[in-house]
Amino acid sequence: MKVYVLNGVNLGRLGTRQVDVYGATTYATLVELCEKTGSQLGLDVECRQTDAEAELVGWLHQAADERAAVVLNPGAWSHYSYAVRDACAMLNGPLVEVHISNIHAREEFRHHSVVSAVATGVIAGLGVDGYRLALEHVFHLLDR
Active-site annotation, residues: 22, 99
Report d(CA 109, CA 132) in Å as an integer.
27
**86 annotated ligand-binding residue:** yes
Report d(CA 108, CA 132) in Å as an integer.
27
**44 annotated ligand-binding residue:** no
Question: How far lies 122's CA from each of 48, 65, 68, 100, 137, in Å?
Answer: 19, 23, 18, 11, 11
**110 annotated ligand-binding residue:** yes
**144 annotated ligand-binding residue:** no
**102 annotated ligand-binding residue:** no
- Residues of each annotated binding site for substrate: 73, 79, 86, 100-101, 110
- Residues of each annotated binding site: 73, 79, 86, 100-101, 110
